[in-house]
Amino acid sequence: MLSSRQRRAELDAVLEIARDLSASLHSDNRYGRLLAAICRVIPCDAACLLKLDGHTLEPLAARGLSGAALSQVYPRDQHPRLATLVDSLEPVRFPPDSKLPDPFDGLVAGPSHELGKVHDCMGCALTERDEVVGVLTLDAFKPGAFENVDRQLLATLAALAGASLRTIALVDALEAKAERQHGVAREIGRRQRIGLVGQSSAIARVRRDIEIVAPSDVPVLVTGETGVGKEVVASLVHASSRRSSEPLVHVNCAALPETLADSELFGHVAGAFTGAFKSRPGKFEAADNGTLFLDEVGELPLSVQAKLLVALQSGVIQRVGSDTSRRVDVRVIAATNRTLEREVSAGRFREDLLHRLTAFTIELPPLRERADDIAELLTDLLIRARRRLGTGPVEVAPSAVTWIGRQPWPGNVRELQNALTRALLRAAHEHEQRRPERAGGRGKPLRLELHHFDASARADAASPDRTQADDDSRPLRDRVSQFQRQEVQRALAHNNGSIAAAARDLGMHRSNLHHLMERLGLQA
């Protein structure tokens, strides 16, 4: 028998969902409230509300799951548990020893913010007028957590939730029709933000800068080291702007031969130079009414910089070999991993162009300054690598996670992604080589160990001294030396190897840094 308190909690949840059916809440608020009401009467470690769109399930709200769980979609044919829920007329509980892979395994936030493994799972389809509109999933670490769940209650909540999903969809459609242009930009921007992973203060500042500058038409300069995600930021600015329904044209200035850079950007007429057999528009014309993204703008030849300045100032371009000017309406977003002020001093970049491009600057932090984002990035990049390589579930050994967190990553997110891909390939190959030796091991996740990573990680795995980098039983002197070595390497990487600049960052004299590097065995 249920206690009066439990019965009251159930009724309150049902009433709350029913009231929200007619409340004028934003859709995101409704999804969150809907899930919260369900979780109050069915305790669980994680829950997810997913919308069915054709053969794909898209997360709408989640509790207890990592950010990576919300940043992907779930095709039915790749997730048999979700497919079972969609096809079932009643709630389904999967036994703890079920052989069907759980879509959220490794994505549930466990103790000490580690990513936990699901041991009990149940869920149900959400229907509206006999049509399946979504799915509700409930996960728990404790086996048997859902043995005594009242399935009739869950079915009632699911019916109300299905009606809520349909109501929210209708309201959203009406709002989108009333504010079509603004609504499209907001939705595209929301979806694009999937690419900017992390919750650190540094990433929060970047998101805030994007929100500030996107609605305007001012030029934007995105700065940061190689591999930090400058192209992602450019896409977000465009997707959140009034030009979002127009093209975003990407130009890699570093890949443009000096003799063809002018033609690539501004076009040419037939006969303008050898090989110009017919007239061709340039990237500015292709981006008319949209956005032109000039990646590695510091690589442009000075002669082309002058024409770029004119285009920015007046919106007028001229094809190579033509006497006729053309007017274009283009917003320019530029990116560079160089310090353009230094390039101006060296005579390689025009100062007036620099001032024009820096109307608004977004500086992307290097990965070593985003330690709080490593765990979420690791999960997101592994999911992407798994899809690309077609592997099954993956887990990362604690020693490998520690090693990843200690690295300076001069190539930033791109370097981390490549390192994970290589490690995953090695682990998969090792897994295949050992398969004949195993009995009944099918379905086990791949495990990325320290030796699957690059040379420095394999050295850590093989060296008795280095594998104890996190062992507090080592002498204090050794632990201090290890910390100093990491900090010096970080400062040098941050300052492109400049000892003087690294010394300033570390708050010490240059000669003292030289002596310290000699003692630590670091190359000057």
Please check the confidence at residue 489 and state whether its pLDDT lies above 70: yes
- Say whether both 348 and 384 belong to one domain: no
Please check the confidence at residue 52 and state whether its pLDDT lies above 50: yes
Q: Is residue 418 part of a domain?
A: yes
Q: Nearest CA to 198 among 375, 419, 333?
A: 375
Q: How many residues would you count in the chain? A: 524
Q: Who wins on pLDDT, 113 or 74?
A: 74
- Say whether both 373 and 310 belong to one domain: no
Contact 87, 122 (CB under 8 A): no
Helix, coil or strand: residue 192: helix
- Say whether both 274 and 204 belong to one domain: yes
Q: Is residue 183 part of a domain?
A: no
Q: Nearest CA to 331 among 291, 365, 303, 283?
A: 291
Q: Who wins on pLDDT, 270 or 485?
A: 485
Last residue of a domain, one of 144, 178, 212: 178
pTM: 0.54
Q: Is residue 38 part of a domain?
A: yes
CATH of the domain at 164: 3.30.450.40
- Mean pLDDT score, 486-501: 82
Please check the confidence at residue 334 and state whether its pLDDT lies above 90: yes
Residue 65 confidence (pLDDT)? 87
- Mean pLDDT score, 493-506: 82
- Say whether both 115 and 196 belong to one domain: no
Contact 350, 344 (CB under 8 A): yes
**CB within 8 Å of 216: residues ≥ 6 apart:** 360
**How many other C-beta atoms are found inside a 10 Å radius of the C-beta of residue 68?**
22
Q: Is residue 47 part of a domain?
A: yes
Please check the confidence at residue 342 and state whether its pLDDT lies above 90: yes
Residue 339 confidence (pLDDT)? 92
Mean pLDDT of the chain: 80
- Mean pLDDT score, 281-295: 93
**How many other C-beta atoms are found inside a 10 Å radius of the C-beta of residue 246?**
17
- Cα torsion 440, 442, 448, 450 to 10°: value is 20
- Say whether both 99 and 147 belong to one domain: yes
- Say whether both 315 and 438 belong to one domain: no
Most confident option among 22-31, 61-70, 136-145: 136-145
Q: Nearest CA to 282 among 254, 303, 311?
A: 311
What percent of the chain lies above the pLDDT cut of 90? 31
How many whole angstroms separate alpha carbon 127 and alpha carbon 104?
22
How many whole angstroms separate alpha carbon 289 and alpha carbon 43?
52
Q: Is residue 400 part of a domain?
A: yes
- Say whether both 446 and 356 belong to one domain: no
Number of domains in the chain: 3
Residue 48 confidence (pLDDT)? 92
- Residue 92 forms beta bridges with which residues? 123
The tokens of 317 are what? 């371009």
How many whole angstroms separate alpha carbon 154 and alpha carbon 290?
49
Residue 11 confidence (pLDDT)? 61
Contact 190, 239 (CB under 8 A): no
Please check the confidence at residue 276 and state whether its pLDDT lies above 80: no
CATH of the domain at 196: 3.40.50.300
Q: Nearest CA to 257 among 273, 278, 240?
A: 273
- Say whether both 339 and 470 belong to one domain: no
Residue 112 confidence (pLDDT)? 42
- Mean pLDDT score, 182-198: 50
Residue 478 confidence (pLDDT)? 59
Q: Is residue 185 part of a domain?
A: no
The Cα angle at residue 384 between residues 379 and 386, in degrees rounded to 5: 90
Q: Who wins on pLDDT, 132 or 474?
A: 132
Residue 220 confidence (pLDDT)? 97
- Say whether both 141 and 223 belong to one domain: no
Contact 103, 383 (CB under 8 A): no
Helix, coil or strand: residue 442: coil
237-251, 260-274, 291-305, range with the lowest pLDDT? 260-274
Reported as a pLDDT band with limits 50, 70 and 90, residue 377 is confident
- Chain centre distance of CA 424: 19
Q: Who wins on pLDDT, 170 or 111?
A: 170
- Mean pLDDT score, 367-371: 83
- Mean pLDDT score, 77-92: 92
Residue 461 confidence (pLDDT)? 59
Residue 199 confidence (pLDDT)? 83
- Say whether both 44 and 160 belong to one domain: yes
- Residue 327 forms beta bridges with which residues? 316
Residue 35 confidence (pLDDT)? 85
9-23, 317-331, 388-402, range with the lowest pLDDT? 9-23
Residue 180 confidence (pLDDT)? 37
pLDDT tens, residue by residue, 379-437: 888 888 888 888 878 888 888 888 888 888 889 999 999 999 999 999 888 878 776 55
Please check the confidence at residue 10 and state whether its pLDDT lies above 50: yes
How many whole angstroms separate alpha carbon 480 and alpha carbon 491?
16
- Residue 134 forms beta bridges with which residues? 51, 126
How many whole angstroms separate alpha carbon 138 and alpha carbon 146?
9
How many whole angstroms separate alpha carbon 237 and alpha carbon 342?
26
Contact 195, 232 (CB under 8 A): yes
- Say whether both 359 and 380 belong to one domain: no
- Say whether both 79 and 201 belong to one domain: no
Please check the confidence at residue 82 and state whether its pLDDT lies above 90: yes
Cα distances (Å, whole numbers) of residue 384 to 56, 72, 417: 17, 9, 9
Q: Is residue 510 part of a domain?
A: yes
Residue 20 confidence (pLDDT)? 54
- Mean pLDDT score, 215-223: 96
Residues spanned by the domain of 341: 191-365
Q: Is residue 186 part of a domain?
A: no
Please check the confidence at residue 474 and state whether its pLDDT lies above 70: no
27-31, 82-86, 300-304, 384-388, range with the lowest pLDDT? 27-31
Burial of 206 (0-12, 13-18, 19+ CB in 10 A): buried
Residue 192 confidence (pLDDT)? 43
How many whole angstroms separate alpha carbon 188 and alpha carbon 310?
31
- Mean pLDDT score, 201-216: 93
Reported as a pLDDT band with limits 50, 70 and 90, residue 337 is very high
Residue 471 confidence (pLDDT)? 43
Please check the confidence at residue 439 and state whether its pLDDT lies above 60: no
Please check the confidence at residue 468 and state whether its pLDDT lies above 60: no
Last residue of a domain, one of 130, 155, 178: 178
Contact 364, 222 (CB under 8 A): yes
pLDDT tens, residue by residue, 99-115: 898 888 878 876 544 55
Last residue of a domain, one of 365, 392, 421: 365
What are residue 362's phi and psi, to 5 degrees? -115, 120
Residue 116 confidence (pLDDT)? 60
- Mean pLDDT score, 323-333: 91
